[in-house]
Structure 1
Amino acid sequence: MPPLRRKFSFLETGSPRYILARNKAIPKSIYLGVAISFDKNGDIEWACSSYDGTDFQNHEDTFKGSSGVSNLEQLNQLNDQIINVVGEYSNSHNFRIQGVCIGCDEATSKVIEADPALINPVREMCTRFWFDLDATPCIYKLRGLSLTEEAASAARKVYDWFTPQFPGSIPRISVDPDTNEVQVDMDGHCHMLDLKHFEDTTDKPTWDKLLALADECKQRKLKILFFNSTPQGGGVALMRHATIRLMRLLGVDCRWFVAKPNPDVFVITKRKFHNVFQGVTDDEQYRLQQADKDLWTEWCEANFDQYWGKGKGVIDDADVIIMDDPQVSAIIPRIRKLNPTARVIYRSHIEIRSDLASIEGSMQYDLWDFLWGGFINQSDLFISHPVAGFIPPRVPHSKVALMPAATDELDGLNKRLNSADLEYYRRVFNRCAEDQASPGIQKDRPYVIQIARFDPAKGIPDVIEAYRGFRVQLDAMGIEPSLQPQLVLCGHGSIDDPDGTVVYQQVIDLICTAPYQPYARDICVARLPASDQLLCAVLRGSFCALQLSHREGFEVKVTESLSKYKPVIAYRSGGIPLQIEDGKTGILIERGNTQGVSDALGFIETLRSKEQDSKRQQYFTPFQSVNWLYLATQLAYKGKSEAAAENQPSTDIDGTYMGDGQIRKWNAQYVRSFWQNEATA
């Protein structure tokens, strides 16, 4: 008699329990463990355990593949069965699968290791969980006395890897305690994407170049390192997660390290570095003092000595080191001393007001003089956003190259979500908003959105004033208030940004003032947990995006909006005019012209263009990775900072403002032009 199999229960459509399950404010989060084993008859045994943090529900099954097919074909067919069973189970009970851990016992692992082709179906199952069910998938080798025990162990493991108090697939950020290396995707255990997914979103010349450069890096055993201040929050961290994920799939030795957080230092780096460079404050209290310099320098050097210094296996044998922004740039002299052959690239992500930095005695001049003269000038290459005014004085022409910021088409911020996913995340957003005493997004009303950190440079008061002006126009047209669009202001926080809480409270206070009180119940303001899909969903649900930054580097939220075919109304700030085709994919307004924004909101619907701009590929991860690998191979090979520009034609950009209207001309060139010229030579 065959053993009794436990099965998932399925609620009958229309039954009282089925209807009751759908009355939940938010579907209940569950975490799955899936265990697979080949039995002695060649069939595949599998078990799945569902865990909600308290109880387990188990399912056991045998998969009999089509007769005469290989193990590879059986695994491919098994994927369909597992996805269908767990999808029907979660939908029946109105559950939400947040994460899944897929694994094999030791015997099955040996079968797979003996036939490398078999690993692909396991990875394929992972990517299907990611794209089909919006669940973050992990791979792990399992142990247990039975498949069900292994599946339950896997479910507990994936539960521990996530952050269950927040709805939304949020893996914990993992940092190695010995070196502070960011262990992206749980040190590779999370497997959401394969190379084929990146290839499908990239043109052939770019993809071929990426593979060729990756092969060169592997053959020469190049070691590439990134350094910055925080593993989560802000555009730099998002780009680095995506870059490391792709580099790992390519087999390139590329790692990312962050400093140990110090709130006192982050006050300096945010308010006295970042805000001063952008020119959003002229308050003398934010002028850098000697005590600030000492504290920041000591912090950088302490991190270097504790995590990355001699004998740590980090800097010692690195070939190319990329320093993201100035937060940890004080380690550059230490790098030079420990590993003189390493090439250092300084990557500037923020808007540096070069006009102010050229005025002797200004806060910007003194700050740049300190950072450049003591630290950054020892780098081999200075990478700037492609805006001439961002290149500060005293940077030699031979060290400058241009590169825009990038986002990832396949991660949680940009992947496609079905209607059920969008509704789920709308409810999650509303719970977050309710917890912060803010109104939520109404299901049947349109809304305009600005996604940004709560930062003094993001122009949030202008957004609120422009929305007020838009509502006044709609009132004058006699449109019912309940039919008028809402306004959504939201974003993630960052541990190195002490301004977030301050600016958030200023926004709440502003909405409560007399001019905005009539519309306050239609303005949704929320600081959100670090769920990428949550931001993706609320952006996809909008009819228009705003980006009214007064100061901006190269805003990836504009790229993300346009990739979702959302028209963008934005100020002509920083690199934003390079991203928007005025009058086609969005509308550019002069900084501070809130009435112009109000007027533009009235006809922005006419700009819903679904044409994909081919040049937009440069704003996504594969193209950006080609840039980094090209620089790495060139710098490491030739051993001097001029290598990337040697014998290459130059292209003028507008020039760098030097103060009082004086402009210094540059012949700076995009990094992409070097390797694209090689391809056409």
Structure 2
Amino acid sequence: MASSEAQHASGLQSPAFRKTSNVAESGNNRDGDGTNLEEVWMGLALSICDESDYAIGFALHDGTYCIDFKVDRLKWESSSEDKAAHITEHIIQSVDDYRKEHLVKIIGTGVELELDRAAPDLCSQLWHVLDIVPTLHQAALPEGADRCDVEMIDEVAEYVARESLQIFGPTKQPRLRLSFRNEVEVDHAGMCKIATLDDYEKSVRPRTWQAVKHYTGLMKEKKIRMVFFSATPQGGGVALMRHAIIRFLKLMGVQAEWFVPRPRPDIFRITKNNHNILQGVDTTTNVSEEKLQDIHDWVSSNATRFWLKKNGPLLPPDQGGADVIVVDDPQLPELVKIAKQQSPKRPVIFRSHIEVRDDLVEQQGSSAKKVWDNLWERIREADVFISHPVRSFVPPQVDMATVGWLPATTDWLDGLNKDLVKWDTQFYFHLLRQTCRQQGASELVWPQRPYIAQVARFDPSKGIPDVLKSYSRFRGMCSETNVPTENIPQLIVCGHGSVDDPDASRIYHASTDLIKENYDHLRDDIVLVRIGPSDQLLDAILSSASVVLQLSTREGFEVKISEALHKGKPVIASRTGGIPLQIEHGKSGYLVNRGDTDAVADRLAELLIQEDSKEKYATMSACQR
């Protein structure tokens, strides 16, 4: 039993502040256009005066000042469990109604800790239902203040709205937070709460969850401190995995930390050259011994400055160091050597996340052999060598008894993978159009026309020239069969950047030049755009695509394929690296030989423009869900 009333309000209920939303209902807007929503932040606070009487404070902040507020007084006579659910339901419904009535996009919401304790599922619901980043804050009330005072709970809500605002940067994303010793403080040191353990448990089979609880329980019982090292805190697949695993392990109560070195662009140029050489993408560059030594000097200087000081993670465990070390990048091989020098018996895990061409590293005199030999000299003492589950990715020098297989993983609960409702999808497509205009790129006209997507970094291994050539051939097939313009898919090629990837700008500009030179007649229908750090924008693009491409020439294990399949999208991908392990040919997608653009065009035609395309598409999509 529950009842509620607004104790006092301004704007949140006042018609004077209201602009009526017609985004979803009116025919005046293209359905996918969205609208220019005002971006705001919210604060939420709770006052429990007694078992049956409590108040919820709401406050809106536009980035400069508080623009709106209200307090709802609720009566409740039932169990505490029901009360928690009722609080959550009331807030979610109130906020959803408000955003649609006032045409606002609530970027973040400060949630007072008292409210989080009373409604532990609220933050998860704000994230998954309303696409709002919830942040937790403790409000210190003035001496003598009464939480049951309606005006006081109003002030608390405004306070946590201001606190939440400070976590976000100019891109309207939570700031990346690094603390002392360059430790990556994931989710702003846990202040951003987007999931609960119940959410994770529901995402896997019961047997998997029991196994996870067993092993994390052992780690907690033995008080094991596990430390990860990687080159960058954001941008690439390694960083994506580390954010996810640290978030999860913290929720499980496991002591886990993640450190990154201080970046140096000149070093990242060398390490990216090594990356390309080991994958066989670059067979002409020859890296000098001096350049290789520069990498190791850089790693050693970071270790000395940040991680070998008192209680530093690389010190022996009995001196405050970690119990287990995970070196997650070929950029940091020196750390394996240093960790073993400090504590020879401490387990050290090296994870190789790229396709290492075992045939090239065995060729005498090749650049690949030179790079690999230098790398192997520093990682050979690792107790475990983790590789993508492809035998040819493991060079013969590695003892197979030490090898563990682990594909790239992704978090189904994060911004790249969660389900977006129509309202939020429209917002992100509006953001995409703004980004395209800022970069002078063509624009999608979805949903008036479907589109094909490749979401990947602008990297020489991602096969972007093959994507463009395949699309051109497919468009020729559309012309030959007189497909109506409104049924002809556009193409979007987009992706995030990474601080350790200096190739991105070069490949982007090379792709732009290629379109001008060879595909100018299709220029209006090819959207080539660099996306900022918005996971939900990439989520919206993949979720609304008709077909997803991944035409990599070299690939370890492409996580974007997993994400697309999870969304029920047919994927056409190259038969290279670990990709054949991800796609069931003819069921969840199609595998084509590397560089076979005719085959890609044929498969696109099968799925999109032939007479039985709808039936094939529906069957393939159904196989993935």
TM (normalized to structure 1)?
0.83
Say if 1:65 and 1:77, in contact at 8 Å, map to a contact too.
no
Quick one: distance in 2 between partners of 1:547 and 1:138?
35
Q: 1:477 to 1:12 in 2, by over 3 A?
A: farther
Quick one: distance in 2 between partners of 1:17 and 1:382?
58
Please list the CA deviations of residues 362-420 of structure 1 after superposition, one character each: whole Å capped at 9, or x if unmatched: 000011111101x1101111111111111113112222121211111111111111111
Quick one: distance in 2 between partners of 1:16 and 1:216?
55
Quick one: distance in 2 between partners of 1:534 and 1:4?
38
Quick one: distance in 2 between partners of 1:382 and 1:74?
50
Name 2:167's counterpart in structure 1: 161
Name 1:216's counterpart in structure 2: 218
Q: State the SS of the aligned residue for 1:355.
A: coil
Name 2:401's counterpart in structure 1: 398
Quick one: distance in 2 between partners of 1:154 and 1:610?
43
Q: State the SS of the aligned residue for 1:386.
A: coil
Name 2:281's counterpart in structure 1: 280
Identity over aligned pairs, percent: 37
Name 2:108's counterpart in structure 1: 99
Matched, 1:5 2:14: no
5 Å-filtered alignment, 1:535-550, equals 535-550=538-553
Name 1:504's counterpart in structure 2: 508
Query: For 2:587, which of 578, 584, 587 is the aligned residue?
Result: 584
Q: 1:196 to 1:3 in 2, by over 3 A?
A: closer
Matched, 1:517 2:517: no
Q: 1:45 to 1:17 in 2, by over 3 A?
A: closer
Matched, 1:136 2:142: no
Moved more, 454-463 or 596-605: 596-605
5 Å-filtered alignment, 1:659-670, equals none
Name 2:95's counterpart in structure 1: 86
5 Å-filtered alignment, 1:37-52, equals 37-39=47-49, 43-52=53-62
Say if 1:346 and 1:383, in contact at 8 Å, map to a contact too.
yes
Quick one: distance in 2 between partners of 1:83 and 1:182?
31
Q: State the SS of the aligned residue for 1:6.
A: strand
Q: State the SS of the aligned residue for 1:603.
A: helix
Q: 1:12 to 1:465 in 2, by over 3 A?
A: farther
Which amino acid is 1:294 matched to? Q
Matched, 1:31 2:41: yes
5 Å-filtered alignment, 1:302-313, equals 302-313=301-312
Q: State the SS of the aligned residue for 1:152.
A: helix
Shift of 1:70: 4.5
5 Å-filtered alignment, 1:445-524, equals 445-513=449-517, 515-524=518-527
Name 2:74's counterpart in structure 1: 64
Quick one: distance in 1 between partners of 2:327 and 2:92?
42
Shift of 1:17: 5.7
Q: State the SS of the aligned residue for 1:82.
A: helix
Quick one: distance in 2 between partners of 1:421 and 1:562?
21
Please list the CA deviations of residues 288-321 of structure 1 after superposition, one character each: whole Å capped at 9, or x if unmatched: 2122122211110111111111413322321211
Name 2:146's counterpart in structure 1: none
Matched, 1:235 2:237: yes
Uncovered stretches (5+) of structure 2, i.e. residues with no partner: 143-151, 608-612
Say if 1:447 and 1:485, in contact at 8 Å, map to a contact too.
yes
Name 1:296's counterpart in structure 2: 295
Quick one: distance in 2 between partners of 1:434 and 1:156?
31
**What count of residue pairs does the alignment treat as equivalent?**
590
Name 2:148's counterpart in structure 1: none
Q: 1:41 to 1:247 in 2, by over 3 A?
A: closer
Uncovered stretches (5+) of structure 1, i.e. residues with no partner: 113-117, 615-681
Please list the CA deviations of residues 146-181 of structure 1 after superposition, one character each: whole Å capped at 9, or x if unmatched: 322222221122112113445xxx2111111x2111
Moved more, 218-227 or 17-26: 17-26
Quick one: distance in 1 between partners of 2:67 and 2:95?
12
Name 2:156's counterpart in structure 1: 150
Quick one: distance in 1 between partners of 2:162 and 2:71?
20
Name 2:373's counterpart in structure 1: 369
Q: CA RMSD in A?
A: 2.3
Query: For 2:422, which of 401, 419, 424 is the aligned residue?
Result: 419
Moved more, 309-318 or 578-587: 309-318
Quick one: distance in 2 between partners of 1:222 and 1:287?
42
Please list the CA deviations of residues 521-563 of structure 1 after superposition, one character each: whole Å capped at 9, or x if unmatched: 0001111111111101100110000000000000011111111
Q: 1:236 to 1:5 in 2, by over 3 A?
A: same
Query: For 1:198, which of 192, 197, 200 is the aligned residue?
Result: 200
Which amino acid is 1:526 matched to? V
